[in-house]
Amino acid sequence: MPRNPSPARLSDRERVARLRLIRTENVGPVTFRQIIERFGSAARAIDALPDLARRGGRRRPLAVPSIAAAEREMAETAEVGAELVVFGDPAYPPALAAIEDAPGAFSMIGHAHLLCHRIIAIVGARNASMNGRRLAAALSRELGAAGYVVASGLARGIDGAAHEGALETGTVAAVAGGIDVIYPPEHTDLFHRIAESGAIIAEQPVGTTPQARHFPSRNRIIAGLSLGVLVVEAATRSGSLITARRALDQGREVFAIPGSPLDPRCGGTNGLIKEGAAFLVESARDVLQVLDGLPERNLHEPAGRDWEASYSSEPLETPTMEIDERTRQEVLGALGSEPVAVDELIRGCQLSAPIVATVLLEAELAGLIDRHPGNQVSRRMDVPV
């Protein structure tokens, strides 16, 4: 018997409920997962939402999509030739499920099995040099030939070159908008070629035009799917560095190609190497020496992360707990506009982890706080506590 058997298939009712839950106002990926773990199912969680939000200070009802709206989104996804994958489905990639803010649902076109292969992400500058694009494509081909699927974000420059290099061996594109919205438009042909031989995934609903806020979310998916992220040409402030930082937060490996200190496109990659945050890479062999040495369980069962717990249908014995107003104000009063780690908040307030988690869960549903990468939270200063 395999050590990690596939989770049982979700019922149609639960799949619809999970889609409704992740599309609910103020429910982000972290809260989505926590609520399901508390109540055992999305259907029970939805029933509990009004009371949770009220306890957090919410004065008006949460906007929860109807069953008809969720079923309509499923139908619209199918109409564009995509499949909707919900957190807990057997087809959900285990590596992605292991991250704390795994998407509650995503649409997919192409070959789903590629999402569960050993994946290396290659990302970099949109305004990449010719040499940078050539190098990205060559590395992609070599890593693909070595048995790795290459993931990237379908952006101009390095991303496009990485996809091109891995078309024959397998590539996955994570896009920022809806799966039916091709961006950038000049990658229309590449999009369709990836759809034929690789896989494309999108967290946003069909028809969504990509906005600036969607790209960091897309980047954490690229990192989450992968064993490691290779950065080729990235400025000191760039989306590629966001992907690298998310990979570090998720316990993935990070690799970087060094470049000239005179080229601003290499400031980010050189910085990662200088900080000791990334392995210096001169060839595909440098990447393979690290990734080939990783135990197989890193792909399906990351250390310290029991991802299968999220598939349980058994609710906690006490899914909710009563929090007195003084305790609630102590936790929320300790938050400011700058993100702080939840562990630090627990130590500072000298309260138990379950109490702080409950306060934060209810406060997020009430719209009082925001969650950030690295298990950090901040208070919305425009909303009174």
Percent share of the chain, pLDDT over 90: 82
Residue 316 has pLDDT above 90, yes or no: no
The whole-angstrom separation of Cα 261 and Cα 122 is 21
State how far Cα 239 lies from the chain centre: 14
- Cis (ω within 30 of 0) for the bond into 184? yes
- Cα dihedral 344, 273, 280, 159 sign: positive
Question: What is the distance in angstroms between the CA of the first residue and the CA of the last residue of the chain?
Answer: 51
Half-sphere exposure for 179 (CA within 13 Å, toward CB): 30
Mean pLDDT of 196-208: 97
Answer yes or no: are the C-beta atoms of 171 and 163 closer than 8 Å: yes
305 phi/psi in degrees, rounded to 5: -130, 110
Mean pLDDT is lowest, of 1-5, 31-35, 100-104, 186-190, for 1-5
What would the mean pLDDT of 209-217 be, rounded to a whole number? 94
| Whether residue 304 has pLDDT greater than 80 | no
Residue 283 clears pLDDT 70, i.e. is over it = yes
Q: Is the pLDDT of residue 87 over 70?
A: yes
Continuous H helices in 146-266: 158-166, 188-197, 214-225, 239-249
pLDDT > 70 in the chain, percent: 90
Helix, strand or coil, per DSSP, at residue 179: coil
> Does 160 score more than 70 pLDDT?
yes
The Cα–Cα gap between 129 and 192 comes to 25
Residue 99, judged by CB atoms within 10 A of its CB (0-12, 13-18, 19+), counts as: buried
| Residues 323-363 pLDDT 10s | 888 999 999 999 999 999 999 999 999 999 999 999 999 99
- pLDDT band of 2, cuts 50, 70, 90: very low
Structure tokens at 156: 């101009």
- What are 26-77's pLDDT values in tens digits? 999 999 999 999 999 999 999 999 999 999 988 888 999 999 999 999 999 9
Compute the distance between CA of residue 296 and CA of residue 131 in angstroms, rounded to an integer: 34
What are the structural domains of the chain?
12-108 (no CATH), 111-300 (3.40.50.450), 325-379 (1.10.10.10)
Lowest mean pLDDT: which of 86-100, 167-181, 188-202, 290-304?
290-304
